[in-house]
Amino acid sequence: MIRTALTQWARVLMTSFADAGVEHVVISPGSRSTPFVLAAAREPRFICHDIIDERAAAFFALGQARRTGRPSLLLCTSGTAGAHYFPAIVEAAMSRVPLLVLTADRPNELQSCAAAQTIDQLKLFGGYARQFFDLGLPDPAPSALRALRRIVAQATFTSTWPSAGAVHLNARAKQPLEPMEPETRDEHALAHEVGSLLAEPLVSAFAPRMEPDPAAIGILARWALSAARPLIVCGPSPLAPRADELHRDALFDLARTLAAPVFCEAASNVRFVDAAAARGVLLCDAFDTFLRSPSFRANAQADLVLHLGAPPTSASWAAYAGGLRSARRIIFSEEGWNDPQNSAALHLFGSTRASLEALHRAMAPAPAPAREKPPGAWQELLCRANDIAWSIIDEDLARTTTMTEAAAVRAIVGALPIGSHLFLGNSLPIREVDTFCKGSHATARVLSQRGASGIDGLIAGAAGAASVGDSPMTLLLGDISFLHDVSSLLIARPLRASFVIAVLNNGGGRIFEQLPVASWPGIERAELAHLTTPHDRSTEHAAHLYGHPFERVASLPELSDALARAHARPGCTLLEVVVPPHGAHEQHSRIWETASAAVGRLVERFGPF
From CA 575, how far away is CA 212, in angstroms rounded? 46
Q: Are 442 and 84 in contact (CB under 8 A)?
A: no
Helix (H, G, I), strand (E, B) or coil at 341: coil
Judge if 190 and 223 occupy the same domain. Answer: no
Domain that holds residue 508: 403-579
Kind and range of the H or E run holding 172: strand 166-172
Whether residue 166 sits in one domain with residue 78: yes
Q: Is 132 helix (H, G, I), strand (E, B) or coil?
A: strand
The H or E element that residue 216 is part of is helix 214-226
Same domain, 492 and 529: yes
Residue 182 buriedness (CB in 10 A; 0-12 / 13-18 / 19+): middle
Please state, in angstroms and as integers, the Cα–Cα distance from residue 461 to each residue in 128, 448, 476, following that order: 19, 9, 12
Residues 412, 371: one domain?
A: no
Q: Is the peptide bond before 176 cis (omega within 30 degrees of 0)?
A: yes
pLDDT in tens, 258-295: 999 999 999 999 999 988 778 899 999 999 999 999 99
| Secondary structure element (H or E) that encloses residue 233, with its range | strand 230-234
Long-range contacts of 217-221 (CB under 8 A, 24+ apart): 217/348, 217/355, 217/358, 217/359, 217/362, 218/362, 219/346, 220/330, 220/346, 220/348, 220/359, 220/362, 221/359, 221/362, 221/363, 221/366
Q: How far apart are CA 263 and CA 382, in angstroms?
A: 10
- Residue that is last in its domain, among 358, 391, 424: 391
Q: How many domains does the chain have?
A: 3
Taking Cα atoms as reference points, which of 270, 265, 227 lies closest to residue 247? Answer: 270
Same-domain status, 43 and 177: yes
Domain boundary among the residues 337, 366, 391 is at 391
Last residue of a domain, one of 367, 391, 415: 391
Q: What is the pLDDT of residue 243?
A: 47
Q: Are residues 248 and 335 in the same domain?
A: yes
Closest CA to 97 of 451, 333, 420: 451
CATH number at residue 18: 3.40.50.970
Please name the helix (run of DSSP H) or strand (run of DSSP E) that holds residue 221, with its range, or none: helix 214-226
Residue 296 CA to chain centroid, in angstroms?
A: 31
Helices within 292-365 (DSSP H only): 294-299, 315-322, 352-363
Nearest to 474 by CA among 547, 420, 419: 420
Alpha-carbon dihedral angle through residues 424, 425, 428, 433, given to the nearest 10 degrees: -10
In a domain, 206, yes or no: no
User: The pTM is what?
Assistant: 0.94
Query: What is residue 514's predicted lDDT score, i.e. its pLDDT?
Result: 67
Look at residue 455 and tell me if it is in a domain: yes
Profile the chain (609 residues) by mean pLDDT over runs of 10 residues.
94 98 97 97 98 97 96 97 97 96 93 89 96 97 97 98 96 94 94 97 93 94 95 88 67 94 96 86 96 96 96 95 94 88 92 94 70 72 97 94 92 95 94 95 94 94 96 96 95 94 87 70 75 82 96 96 96 95 84 95 90
| CA proximity to 418, closest of 470, 475, 471 | 471
Is residue 207 domain-resident? Answer: no
How would you classify the pairing of strands 73-76 and 99-105?
A: parallel
User: What is the amino acid identity at position 299?
Assistant: N
Amino acid at 355: S
186 and 236 co-located in one domain: no
Q: Are residues 428 and 295 in the same domain?
A: no
Cα distances (Å, whole numbers) of residue 291 to 91, 270, 301: 29, 19, 11
Q: Is residue 590 part of a domain?
A: no
If asked whether residues 463 and 349 sit together in one domain, one would say no
Question: With left for phi above 0 and alpha for psi between -120 and 50, is residue 88 left, alpha or beta?
Answer: alpha
Q: Report if residue 365 sits inside a domain.
A: yes
**What per-residue confidence (pLDDT) applies to 502?**
98
Q: Is residue 287 part of a domain?
A: yes
CB 157 within 8 A of CB 23: no
Same domain? 465 vs 534 = yes
In a domain, 600, yes or no: no
CB 294 within 8 A of CB 599: no
Please state the separation of Cα 232 from the chain's center in Å.
Answer: 21
Residues 43 and 179 grouped into a single domain: yes
Is 268 part of any domain? yes
Together in a domain, 376 and 413: no
Instruction: Report the 10 Å Cβ neighbour count for 294.
Output: 14
CATH number at residue 334: 3.40.50.1220
In sign, the C-alpha dihedral spanning 79, 80, 84, 90 is: positive
What is the four-CA torsion angle of 84, 89, 92, 94, rounded to 10 degrees?
A: -120
Residue 185, number of CB atoms within 10 A of its CB? 8
